[in-house]
Amino acid sequence: MFFVMIGYPNYSYAFRCGNEIVSRWDPAESVIVKCGNPFSKSWGYQNLDGKKIYVEKWFFNCGENDFIYSVSIYEGTVVSVDSVQRGKGKSKCGN
């Protein structure tokens, strides 16, 4: 059987941070509690359900056996989680 996936986004609704799960619609404060502080932040526009919104993006490096995740925050709530690239070095996800 042969499958071709065209245009499949590098996108998910959740990721594991230590022993916790961070998912869409979580309060931003719970992300800090579960994961600690992000190693980087950025700001920009993102499309969400057909609407252009201004988000804060938090980046978490979950280590060489996992990914670097981008968590988009809008009005204090997680609106999306994306795996950006392979993680590097020791995991910095979780407290």
Angstrom distance (rounded) from CA 80 to CA 84 = 12
Q: What is the pLDDT of residues 52-80, one digit of tens each?
A: 999 999 999 999 989 999 999 999 999 99
H or E element at residue 42: strand 40-48
pLDDT value of residue 93? 85
Quick one: pLDDT band at residue 31, thresholds 50, 70, 90? Answer: very high
pTM for this prediction: 0.82
pLDDT value of residue 5? 43
Query: What SS3 class is residue 26?
Result: coil
Q: Which fold has domain 11-86?
A: Beta-lactamase Inhibitory Protein; Chain:B, domain 1 (3.30.1450)
Instruction: Using the predicted structure, report yes or no on whether residue 7 has a pLDDT greater than 50.
Output: no
